Structures are given as C-alpha cells and as structure tokens.
Amino acid sequence: MRKQYLFIVLLLAVIPLGLTAQGDSTSIYKKRRNLLLVGGLTGYAGSMTFLYHSWYKNYEQSSFHFIDDSGEWMLQDKAGHIITTYYLTHYASQSYRWAGYRDAKAVWMAGATGFLYQTVIEVLDGFSAKWGASYADLIANTTGSLLYIGQNQLWEEQRIIPKYSYHDTQYPEYRPDLLGSNLPENMLKDYNAQTFWLSANLNAIMPRKTLPLWLNLAAGYNAHGMTGGEKNASSYNGNPIPEFERTARFLLAPDIDFKQINTDSRVLNFIFEALRFFKMPAPALEYNTRKGLRFHLVYF
C-alpha cells in the first residue's frame, strides 16, 4: 500500500518532465541529461528518506529475509505492483527520451529504473521484522517492466495499457486501520475498492482499422469481501465483523485512450497523459465466483 502511495507522488512529479517538447541541439540534450541526473537522484533520495522515516524507522529491524505473501489480498496487491512498475517505466522512458536518448536505449534504461526502484523498497522490506522481501512482489515488479519493454520491442508503441479504477465499498468501516478511514486512504488502502485493468486499443490490434482511434476494450480484475490479508478478521477493537465471502470478480468494459485524441494544446496533452492511468466509468459485464454473470450500467 505504501508503494502505491509513493508511485502516485512520483507520477505527479515526472509527468511535466515527460511532456516537455524535445529540441535538436546537442548542448540542450547535455543540459537536460544533467538536469535529469540531478533531479532523479534528488527525487530518489527524497522519496527513500520519506519512506524510511514514515515506515521503517518506527518498526524493529532484523536480518534480511524473504517471505511468501502470494496468498494475500487475492493478488490485488500484486496487480498494484505490476501497474506501479509499468508506469514508473513509462514515465522514466519519457524522461530519457526528453534527455535525448534514442527510443530503444531509453526503454531499456527505463525498465531497469522502474524495476530497481521497486527492488530497493523490497530490500528495505527484507530488513524489517514486520515485513520481509517478497518473491511474489519481485515477480510482479518484473512483469510490470517487461509489459512496457515487450510492447515497445514488438510494436514500438503501447497497445495494452494497465489502468486503475475505484468504487466505494463498505469494508473500511470494519477495518479503518487497515483499509483507510477517509477517501484518500480508501483509494490507496482498500483493495476491495480497486479494480485493475488491461486496456487494449481496438484500432491498433484489429486488421482493419475502421474503429475510432480512441476506443479501447478493457479486461479488469477485482476482489471483494476482504477485511484481512490472507484471511478475514472476526473483530476489530472488540467489535464483531460480519462474515464476508472473499470473491474474485472479472470484468469486460469499453474504455477511452485519451492519448489517441489529437490536440495541439499542451494543457490538454497534460490532462490526457494524467488520465492515461485511470479507467473511465462505463457499462461493464462482470463474472464473479459467487453470483456468476452480472451487468453494470456504469462501473467505476
């Protein structure tokens, strides 16, 4: 959960850099690379310092160790790792291109940047008695980087984009310590409320390019009924918690790729780049392991 929070902070910080127009002067590129190096190291040091003082400093340290947390949160947290590393790679790639690196080199450097940043956090986890480095997290982080690199190698563009959406749920009221006590915390901590999507551009993958350039089809995954990581809690602060059935949900819905909407406005381009991360509300077909097929007129 803390990793997703850090990702959003970094995302907001690097979007403007990734959208800056490129120049054609060698001296401009040298200045940009120096700026990128200083800014990157400063951002890295600052975020790690913040993370240490916000989390690890308050918990007992231990010798480095691994844990198996693959059964927690019905893989929702692993989906969060994939999307986090993907977007770290994406915006790092934008920044390296801005600094004058060629596309192929920029993509591989960005993949390494996203993966290594997440790996350092896993190392910190590994020295914490409360947590531990996670094999499953490392696999998810690798998947996020390779999802970006692989598409660039195959198509020289991103045709399948990971996305996030949020809908309010009842579960935080039973575990506010774990799932959040207000909207910002719920959006980051309540895995029941988070849906992770793979949004594919239909025009790019169909043989006949007859559909609108911005039209996507998204496949989503969500899980409900969770008031604990591996199993549900029976009480909180002495108050009983209802018995919820942990349910996996699979969804299919149309989506919009705002980056396919051409505009000369830098403001709109900035907004469209920020919206790239979010799945737009739309009608959706759902299959879940408890109730079978369902239809949502609008699914958030």
Chain segment 153-190, per-residue pLDDT in tens: 999 999 999 999 999 999 999 999 999 999 988 998 89
Please give the Cα distance from 190 to 49 (Å, whole number).
25
Q: Assign 24 a pLDDT band (cuts: 50, 70, 90).
A: low
Pairing of strands 292-299, 160-166: unpaired
268: left (phi over 0), alpha (psi -120 to 50) or beta: alpha
For residue range 137-155, list pLDDT tens digits in order. Answer: 999 999 999 999 999 999 9
**128: its two tokens:** 């914490």
Which of 290, 19, 278 is closest to 166 using CA atoms? 278
pTM for the predicted model, two decimal places: 0.89
Domain positions in the chain are: 1-158, 161-300
Res. 25 pLDDT band, cuts 50 70 90 = low
pLDDT tens readout for residues 254-266 = 999 998 888 888 8
Q: What are phi and psi of 130, to 5 degrees?
A: -75, -35
Q: Compute the distance between CA of residue 43 and CA of residue 49 in angstroms, rounded to an integer.
A: 10
